[in-house]
Chains A and B, each alone.
Chain A
């Protein structure tokens, strides 16, 4: 069902920033901090999306995903690893026996500038390789040109090819210009069948920001109230420290609440966040400030 885009809420950055500031001034201490950090770790989609990715690199990443920091007890693994389609098979194999999902970007990532059947076969390839989750990009050019139906149809077509795999729809908010467009793209994605909506590819600046994420959470909230269906949220890119991650979690906690506070409905797309969270967890346990040299890169 194509959404009604005429009466969507509007936003201004002055107001949204003010709201976001309120989340950022929450002070997270002691056990609530440890709980938050562990939750954040469990929500990470550990990501490598580079032209120079190799089998070796992906295998190292997968090991890190399963063994974030062995000397720390009672910590979760990350939620998923996120790779290009060519390495889905490698990752799937490396992660065997774990609960960690394999997510793959697809649909002519990151620009999405290709024909639909190329995008569909890109998706199909990733799914066939065993991807549990597909992170697709929307056609921003078509969106900005006002061809919303085109964007909608494309997402719906990809969703169909996904089969059982979960679909995350990347809006690439850094190219959408306004918060109203972010909201509009969120609506199109959710109604077209997205399981998650995601801010960014990580290839465009700005990537995820709290104001943009706030608007998307707001869209998810209204969608739930209208349809009863829970959509997940994935901010990606630029979330590199525990402090920022906790601020996102405060926002999630106070906007969508309990039901969304788990990795079925919230993910961080990040590569360096995991180690920072681990350093903070070790600091919390030992009381000693940490150095990155004691935490494995991959």
Chain B
């Protein structure tokens, strides 16, 4: 007996909810034979703006969550992802990966989450310093999240790439607004479902699907975004982002790498990229 499949509707993920784009627009993802895989939301600049608002609102509380708590939440994401492994493998295959590559990518993504979960209460120790100043002051430098971060994720390795750039940003207390791989967006939205059932507070990670060319300028120019991460090699995009980032002296982080499976793609230095150094002085003589 054949049974009609229930097709999944892919929506945006903003503030812990799954709204459709306010614009009502969509774009199609097709198989190599041209048949429809899914209709994706074509997010608008207003969707992006709304996402920034919720990301800003969520940032303080997320930054103030204990390091242990953030670590456990990242670990929880890994757990849920592990439980839905098959779904992600299937989606990656639909998007054109081989079964072997898909399996490898999902497993690497899970491991990467576990890796960063473990850093949550260690990277501050690694990057902090007590500075031996000459005057009678106690002086120390610690890291603080830069704030709200726009992320344009890698076009390829749509799950692993996404996880590899989101995890170091959020483990460091930032909230993010993410633009998924334009050509392979399915796993990004499924990953949002994982996030949503993993105790990640609404607004910490917001995921949009849509057109890069359309959204990049807004992601780079928004005055309430503190940093922008761009994965890719498009020289025009790099230039445009840098130029617009100067509006509010936004930090720019560019990743030109193409293989996110490599072990060099995980280190505390990725966390540091979306951190500020704060130095505090206080007298020591009574």
Contact = CB atoms under 8 A, between A and B. Distances in A.
Complex: A in contact with B (CB within 8 Å): yes
Interface of A: 12-15, 17, 178-179
A8 to B, nearest CB: 15
Nearest to B283: A14
A17 B283 CA distance: 11
Contacts, number: 18
18 contacts: A12-B283, A12-B285, A12-B286, A13-B136, A13-B283, A13-B285, A13-B286, A14-B135, A14-B136, A14-B137, A14-B283, A14-B284, A14-B285, A15-B283, A17-B136, A17-B285, A178-B286, A179-B286
A178 B284 CA distance: 14
Contacts of A179: 286
Contacts of A14: 135-137, 283-285
Contacts of B285: 12-14, 17
Interface of B: 135-137, 283-286
A179 B285 CA distance: 11
Contacts of A15: 283
A226 to B, nearest CB: 26
A209 to B, nearest CB: 13
A170 to B, nearest CB: 23
B135 to A, nearest CB: 7
A14 B135 CA distance: 8
Contacts of B283: 12-15
B103 to A, nearest CB: 61
A288 to B, nearest CB: 40
Contacts of B137: 14
A14 B137 CA distance: 8
Which 9 A-B residue pairs are closest in the complex by CB-CB distance? A14-B283, A13-B285, A14-B285, A14-B136, A12-B283, A12-B285, A12-B286, A15-B283, A13-B286
A231 to B, nearest CB: 26
A13 B136 CA distance: 9
A231 B283 CA distance: 31
Contacts of B135: 14
Nearest to A12: B283
Given A12-B285, A12-B286, A17-B285, 15 more contacts: A12-B283, A13-B136, A13-B283, A13-B285, A13-B286, A14-B135, A14-B136, A14-B137, A14-B283, A14-B284, A14-B285, A15-B283, A17-B136, A178-B286, A179-B286
A222 B137 CA distance: 28
A161 B79 CA distance: 85
B17 to A, nearest CB: 51
A12 B282 CA distance: 11
Nearest to B285: A13
Contacts of B286: 12-13, 178-179
A12 B284 CA distance: 8
A222 B168 CA distance: 55
Nearest to A17: B285
A17 B137 CA distance: 12
Nearest to B137: A14
Contacts of B284: 14
A178 B137 CA distance: 18
A256 B283 CA distance: 26
A142 to B, nearest CB: 23
A178 B285 CA distance: 10
Contacts of A12: 283, 285-286
A102 to B, nearest CB: 39
Nearest to A180: B286
Pick from A13, A14, A17, A178 the residue with the most CB of B within 10 Å.
A14
A74 to B, nearest CB: 43
A111 to B, nearest CB: 25
A12 B283 CA distance: 8
Nearest to B282: A14
B28 to A, nearest CB: 67
A201 to B, nearest CB: 23
A224 B285 CA distance: 29
A179 B136 CA distance: 17
A15 B137 CA distance: 10
Nearest to B138: A14
A75 B98 CA distance: 103
A13 B135 CA distance: 12
A14 B285 CA distance: 5
Nearest to B136: A14
A15 B285 CA distance: 8
A15 B136 CA distance: 10
B285 to A, nearest CB: 4
